[in-house]
Amino acid sequence: MSILVVDIGTSGVRSAIVRPDATIAVEHRQEVLPNTPAPGLVEFDATLMATAVLATARAALADSGPVDAVGIANQRASTIVWDRATGQPVAPGLGWQDLRTLGDCLVFQADGLRFAPNQSATKIKHLLDNADPNRNRNLCVGTVDSWIVWTLTEGAVHVTDASNAAVTGLYSVETLDWDDELLTKLNIPRSTLPTIVDSSGPIAPASALVGAPMICGIVGDQQASLIGQGCVSPGPAKITFGTGGMLDLVLGPNPPTSAARGNAGTFPIVAWRRGEETMWGTEAIMLSAGTNIEWLRDDLGIIDSAADSHVVAQQCDDTDGVVYVPALLGLGTPNWDYGARGTLLGITRGTGRPHIVRAVLEGVAQRGADLVDAAEADTGLAISALRVDGGMSANPTFTQALANATQHTVEISPILEATTLGAAFLAGLAVGTWAGWDDIESTWRPSRVVEPSGAAHRERWASAIERASGWHADLSSFDF
């Protein structure tokens, strides 16, 4: 029983066929890059995204033949508004990184409402205010998963799953539905919003595809990666090191007391919902991870490729006291300091290219340790296993530095993008490809296991973080 997975990321679309043994048989990709018309603005062409989804999904099916179900994984909180009758977007979609509603967030904060600019709530309000100020048009509002389900069902279904709904800023942890009080305050008609459905279970036929396979799984990308790496019960955690870095772990069925950020800077999330049971988790966020490697390559020009960072770093045994704080976009968990900036410390006349490259890799690893410490502090759980995926997980220097900084065994995902497996597992549970969570847990087979082999150096790291913090005092004063 093979599963078609459509995975919509920030920079492109991937459609893959996943076999019952949790291996990928076929994969087709198409680049769909966002636009940045001005600093802080991130837009994307939702029509182009839909076209890419259909093209890659149809190509995958042409190569593989019929499938038993469709799973969807998606970038979270990016927002689209479209006309219900024509199916046409009324404006460019707003990416999750878009900051144009930062001022709105501050205004609402003065009224006692806390929204972050990377959530969907104020993005929805902004799009509706521009496209339908009187709220009399027949519009649909959705995150990327909603838009893709609409596309695959040819406009028959407008839904989202609980994992995506919970990161919009409009979800109630009490009612497990849209928060009517917040909708009223933001002037968002409930009729525009999708119905919230389970993350795993039959949803609707994908009539736009040959054979109209049933859509049976929808999940946000970080939750998909969590499930894809077999972290389906309390204990193990995963970190995805992509452009940024996200740590996620499962807590259990008991809901949080609020959706607010914890004392150590983590957030409650819906890991998934299945059979009307909601499984909760927590998330810690690193604002820049792989971005720092791109900086070394594209801006400084001291490495030729991302893989070259390992080769160059291996030319020295240690950084010789050089420390790098990867705060190119500020610091997320646990500090949440938007005014912090990247900092390179301890440079001497003898500092060379290998020392700087190694310091960057070790700095990202130290931020990974910050996420681990914060998750353990906010949840009271001891993380039993640390599993990693994303582009940086292929770098041996980095993964060894992560094991040292966290003093945890690090298990490397067999595929760089475990989101694909997570969406496949949720869809496959609905059609019997996998019988239950034990089956999914048993599929985890790390490609490598890395043990700590050096000191953590956490005291020196704390000193470096202190020096990087508060560089732009006005931005550092913002707290969402």
Domains of the chain: 3-221 (3.30.420.40), 230-412+447-480 (3.30.420.40)
Which residue is associated with the tokens 């960072």?
A: 309
Look at residue 243 and tell me whether its pLDDT is greater than 90.
Answer: no
- Residue-wise pLDDT tens digits, 439-472: 999 999 999 999 999 999 999 999 999 999 999 9
3-state secondary structure at position 25: strand
- Residue-wise pLDDT tens digits, 319-354: 999 999 999 989 999 999 999 999 999 999 999 999
- Residue-wise pLDDT tens digits, 126-151: 999 999 999 999 999 999 999 999 99
Could you give the CA distance from residue 49 to residue 30 in angstroms, rounded to a whole number?
Answer: 9
Mean pLDDT of 97-104: 92
Rounded-to-10 torsion of CA 325, 326, 327, 328: 130
Q: Is the pTM higher than 0.85?
A: yes
Q: Determine the pLDDT at residue 410.
A: 98
- Residue-wise pLDDT tens digits, 289-318: 999 999 999 999 999 999 999 999 999 999
Instruction: List Cβ neighbours of 52 (8 Å cut-off, separation of 6 or more).
Output: 12, 13, 30, 32
Mean pLDDT of 44-52: 98
Q: Determine the pLDDT at residue 169.
A: 96
Contact 94, 144 (CB under 8 A): no
> What are 73's strand-pairing partners?
7, 219
Question: 372: which 2 tokens?
Answer: 């681990």
Question: 437: which 2 tokens?
Answer: 């969570």
Look at residue 1 and tell me whether its pLDDT is greater than 90.
Answer: no
Q: Determine the pLDDT at residue 479.
A: 84
Q: Determine the pLDDT at residue 278.
A: 96
3-state secondary structure at position 71: strand
Look at residue 408 and tell me whether its pLDDT is greater than 90.
Answer: yes
Confidence of residue 259 (pLDDT cuts 50, 70, 90): confident
Please report how the helices 353-379 and 396-406 are oriented relative to each other, as an axis angle in degrees rounded to 10: 40
